[in-house]
Amino acid sequence: MTTHSAEHIAQQEVAAEQAYVDNVYERLEASGQMAQALVAEGYARGHIGHEGGLVERDAMVFQASKRIAALNAAHDGLVFGRLNLLDGESRYIGRIGVRDENRDVIVVDWRAPAAAVFYQATAQDPAGVIRRRVLRCSGEKVIGVEDDLLDAENAADDLVIVGEGALLASLSRARDSSMHSVVATIQKEQDEAIRAPSRGATTIGGGPGTGKTVVALHRAAYLLYTDRRRFESGGVLVVGPSSVFMNYIERVLPSLGETSVTLRSLGEVVDGLRADRHDEPVAAAAKGSSRMTAFIGRAAAAPLPGAPTEFRFFYKDDVLRLEASDLDRIRRHLLSGGKRNRAYDKAPAALVDALWRQVAGERALEKGEAEFVEIVTTDDRFVSFVEDWWPPVDPIEVWRTLPDVIDSLGRGAFSAEELKALKASWAIGEPSIEDIPLIDELRYVIGEIPDTNDNDDDGPKQLMSFERQEREARDDRYRATRSIEDDGFAHVLVDEAQDLSPMQWRMLGRRGRHASWTIVGDQAQSSWPHPRESEAARKAALEGKPEHAFRLSTNYRNSAEIYDLAAKVAVIGVKDPDLADAVRRTGDLPQHHVVSASELTAQLRTSIGDILERVEGTVAVVASRADLERLEGELADLIEENSGRLRLLDGLDTKGLEFDGVVVAEPDAITDESTAGWRTLYVVLTRATQLLTTVGTTDRWRERIV
């Protein structure tokens, strides 16, 4: 066969597939129009005026709008696969299922059982598949086909086979700023993890670039497809390390037709809060440690700073006094019943009770307790005392007191260095990513801010006036984070789980109490310094749920040249790292430059320029956290000129991401920065798909790995 004729044949195949795909888009268009019409009809029904009309309309508009969103999101490259089966059937596979006007299936949803064979058939075990074809599309256009002949013996003589394998073709494409669905080229071991039943906890391990993230996201889509009612109503929570990472992955699920998954970075897990900044390593490690649990418990129980420490009340012939020790006793008593905010209604009665017990004067005793209670609880001084002594507490407010109480309440649990680092981090005033679990812990220890908008009738009668005044004051002073009862999900998917601190595990555990889990990670990439403590917290979060482990073995991201270097760093960072097999050779070895301090910036600029010229897609410059700010200034013009392609990041923020080219500035500064520094460097070195250059003023790391 000549090249010309091979090309010609490929073109003919593309044209034939285009005809099929055109028909699918026509159907889709019709289906979209139908959904639009339903939305319009739904609105019309709302005008009928009776309540039933409104409910019907809402349901109709909701369903139809969802369908429109799914059709739009899955539109590009909708049909990506075709199977020619032994029995003569030709089966098309797509991001979502499509039927023709007779309700016959013309595209099978990739998650349907009928599509599983697309991913599982091999030449050794073709499972009834003669030819597997991947359609490469751009929008609605078929631009190429790639075939695998799985069963040559049973293939008809005129069966055409085109291309050299879809996987390698897709791996060589340039990377842009978001992750893509790999739905057309999912490999067998990946498919097994995607379709694993959703019982207990499914763990997906494997080295860098093995597809853990992309597999986990396809798994979320698969679970929604197989048990939509359960997972859509209960919710699927996907948690990743940073907002940069969440932006990177956010397109994958919509492109698979799923728009109902909650994506959160670790700094956004608590509703209503958003943190984007990491603490420096000592503070971060202290905040993540389970030693925080007891400290947080004590801080939540402590009197608020500035709370009054005594109360005096003149009644008839008596001077009634609540001294600090009395107040302390009442506080303990109230807290022994549970969460602080839950005792909000009980505080006034407890105080009045303690006061009544001091009443000794005859005139007063004669009047009796009921009158005493009436007089005290309607007295402004008492009301304002209670307001100050036991206000409804927002967890954030208690979080703000932590720097003031850490010395007294955290003594013994934290070293002097940790105490200093913690106080410095809290002096910034805004929560860091590592603070979010502490605030969440406080939410659970303190309880909801009592909702005083309810009818007051069921509260103790004698406290009515107190309640009223208090509520008015409170409504603008306090803003509660959302109810903890709404925290639970039906499935929790955690990516980069090796980095979770014990406190972060506790935070996620609360959201996954009744959930099934998917946990994705690679210990060798962990930036958490105390893996054993974290392991215990992970176990506690899963509460004994059975675990099913999957391991992915092939690195689809890095060239073999880059991964060979990174693997040498991995073995320093961790004992027995789970190394992956990199499948692609590019011929481009990593480059290393060691220069004097005065030449560093110039060399960085040269290396960045060189890589920008040689790759088509994205490039990252990665530095230690300490060097970041300086480099931001020094490289500002380059970054601006190449915005959209060039980014400057610290090591931790590169987690889970990938770029065509990476320039590492001062690798030794990254290894020195924390006890997990070597593992962070391993992460950084495994981000590049094609070109990697390191530039430093020292070269200790390379001396260590040779």
Ligand X SMILES: Nc1ncnc2c1ncn2[C@@H]1O[C@H](COP(=O)(O)OP(=O)(O)OP(=O)(O)O)[C@@H](O)[C@H]1O
Q: How far apart are CA 211 and CA 580, in angstroms?
A: 11
Site for ligand X in 312-371 (CB under 6 A): none
Residue 314 pairs in a beta bridge with: 319
Nearer to ligand X, 438 or 664 (CB): 664
SS3 522: coil
**Strands 311-315 and 318-322, how do they pair?**
antiparallel
User: Smallest distance from the beta carbon of 496 to ligand X, in angstroms?
Assistant: 7
Residues in the interface with ligand X (CB under 6 A) total: 24
Site for ligand X in 671-690 (CB under 6 A): 686
Considering only residues 190, 289, 432, 462, which one is a binding residue for ligand X as defined by CB under 6 A?
A: 190
Output the six-digit token pair for 161.
């086979």
- For position 498 contacting ligand X by CB under 6 A, the verdict is no
Considering only residues 61, 71, 185, 523, which one is a binding residue for ligand X as defined by CB under 6 A?
A: 185
- For position 148 contacting ligand X by CB under 6 A, the verdict is no
Q: How far apart are CA 253 and CA 257, in angstroms?
A: 7
Considering only residues 448, 658, 666, 673, which one is a binding residue for ligand X as defined by CB under 6 A?
A: 658
- For position 653 contacting ligand X by CB under 6 A, the verdict is no
Residue 213 marked in a binding site: yes
| Closest C-alpha among 579, 581, 568, 673 to residue 622 | 673
- The DSSP line for 527-596 is --S-HHHHHHHHHHHHTT--EEEEEE-EEEEEEHHHHHHHHHHHHHHSSS----EEEE--S---EEEE--
User: Smallest distance from the beta carbon of 649 to ligand X, in angstroms?
Assistant: 14
Tokens 């969103």 correspond to what residue? 69
Considering only residues 399, 556, 659, 678, which one is a binding residue for ligand X as defined by CB under 6 A?
A: 556
- For position 209 contacting ligand X by CB under 6 A, the verdict is yes
- For position 186 contacting ligand X by CB under 6 A, the verdict is yes
Nearer to ligand X, 126 or 656 (CB): 656
- The DSSP line for 419-485 is HHHHHHHHTT-S--GGGHHHHHHHHHHH-PPP-TTS-GGGS-GGGHHHHHHHHHHHHHH--PPPPGG
- For position 167 contacting ligand X by CB under 6 A, the verdict is yes
Nearer to ligand X, 250 or 374 (CB): 250
- For position 577 contacting ligand X by CB under 6 A, the verdict is no
- For position 170 contacting ligand X by CB under 6 A, the verdict is yes
- Of the candidate spans 123-131, 180-188, 630-638, 643-651, the one that interacts with ligand X by CB under 6 A turns out to be 180-188
- For position 567 contacting ligand X by CB under 6 A, the verdict is no
Residue 677 marked in a binding site: no
User: Smallest distance from the beta carbon of 521 to ligand X, in angstroms?
Assistant: 8
Q: How far apart are CA 462 and CA 460, in angstroms?
A: 6
- For position 268 contacting ligand X by CB under 6 A, the verdict is no
Residue 429 marked in a binding site: no
- For position 656 contacting ligand X by CB under 6 A, the verdict is yes
Residue 206 marked in a binding site: yes
Residue 212 marked in a binding site: yes
Measured CA to CA in angstroms, residue 366 lies from 297, 352, 354, 379 at distances of 44, 17, 18, 20
Residues 6+ apart with CB under 8 A from 23: 106
Task: To the nearest 10°, report the CA torsion of 17, 20, 23, 29.
Answer: -60
| Closest C-alpha among 423, 373, 387 to residue 402 | 423
Considering only residues 13, 441, 522, 653, which one is a binding residue for ligand X as defined by CB under 6 A?
A: 522
Which H or E run includes 518?
Answer: strand 516-520
Tokens 């004669």 correspond to what residue? 366
Nearer to ligand X, 300 or 684 (CB): 684
Residue stretches of the annotated binding site: 206-213
The site for ligand X (CB under 6 A) is made up of 167, 170-171, 180, 182, 185-187, 190, 206, 208-214, 522, 525, 556-557, 656, 658, 686
